Amino acid sequence: MRYRLLGGSGLRVSELALGTMTFGETWGWGASKDESRKIFERFREAGGNFVDTANNYTDGTSEEFVGELVASDRERFVLATKYTLTMRPDDPNAGGNHRKNLVQSLEASLRRLGTDYVDLLWVHMWDGLTPVTEVVRALDDLVRAGKVLHVGVSDTPAWVAARAHAIAELRGWTPFTAVQLPYSLVDRGVERDLLPFARELGLAVLCWGVLEGGVLTGKYDDATADDAPRRYTRAGEQEQALAREVVAVAAEAGCSPAQVALAWVRAQPGNLIPILGARTEAQIVDNLGCLDVDLEPQQLERLAAAGAIDLGFPHSFLGSDHVRSLIFGTTRELIEG
């Protein structure tokens, strides 16, 4: 395992993060406490130090497991959790991005994690109601109080995240160091705005859903695959076609399909950190094997072509030869940048 800086901070994080939404069996498809420990130990032994959880993962069980697992060496680990999602569905203030929920959610998370601070706190999802200034100021207050070291934003429109980041910078509040989003060969919509936003501002990008719930391992196209509980029960034809391409490249490269899917994301531009979400010890060991996989340029291009998306307006419009000639005439190729 190698390490990289978390966005514009000096915090060193492993090039792969351990996602712990699978820690706990409350939702019917996760890992037992014993299996969760095995997954964590394999990640730790590989040099991983970046662990990602959330207040609502397996109804709080994930944070409890993670707290126990890092307790003996808390300072070694970069511990990230999230707030926004409700833990009391009948309470209108128990969910959302506002200050009250932020404070009470973080305090509950710290109790479950058995620590007095988290290294990174994520805004889990944008609620569409709370003013941006309330969110960024409340996050800054928690950083100043020492309960949070860095802040990030997850599952939020690019324009909202950019506005929040700009306000924080202009007012001397704590800016985002990272963004978390879904990114895989199957789901590339973030290439339109969120990835360019992150690159422009120098943010680290935590990628979830890299294996698309196991679809890109080929198991949904395999009648002999195990019948253990899964997050998803089926995959569409387009997803299965992409999975078959991944399986074919894996056969050529002498590695597993999961390693190919992870290697493709790792090869994309920007400070991208895939989140490994394993349900078994065997899965985390296989996923970690992506560190030894370097796909050939033609294989990367082949996979990209199989999952290509239309960026749409204004991206395709501004990138067209006609519009570029209207803007630059015949000089664009002469201009660096």
Catalytic site positions: 57
Going through 143-193 in order, the beta strands assigned E by DSSP cover: 148-154, 176-182
Q: Give the integer Cα–Cα distance in Å for 143 and 100.
A: 16
Q: Give the integer Cα–Cα distance in Å for 98 and 92.
A: 11
Find, among 129, 128, 133, the residue nearest to 168 by Cα. Answer: 133
Contact 264, 300 (CB under 8 A): yes
Find, among 180, 185, 140, 134, the residue nearest to 158 by Cα. Answer: 180
Contact 134, 163 (CB under 8 A): no
Contact 92, 122 (CB under 8 A): no
Q: Give the integer Cα–Cα distance in Å for 162 and 196.
A: 11
User: Long-range CB contacts (< 8 A, 24+ apart) of 304-311?
Assistant: 304/185, 304/264, 306/185, 306/241, 306/242, 306/245, 307/185, 307/186, 307/188, 307/242, 308/188, 309/188, 309/189, 309/191, 311/191, 311/192
Contact 87, 60 (CB under 8 A): yes
Q: Which residues of 6-40 are buried (b: 16+ CB within 10 A; e: fewer)?
A: bbbbebebbbbbbbbbbbbbeeebbbeeebbbbbb
User: What backbone phi and psi angles, to 5 degrees, belong to 117?
Assistant: -160, 160
Contact 152, 179 (CB under 8 A): yes
Contact 177, 7 (CB under 8 A): yes
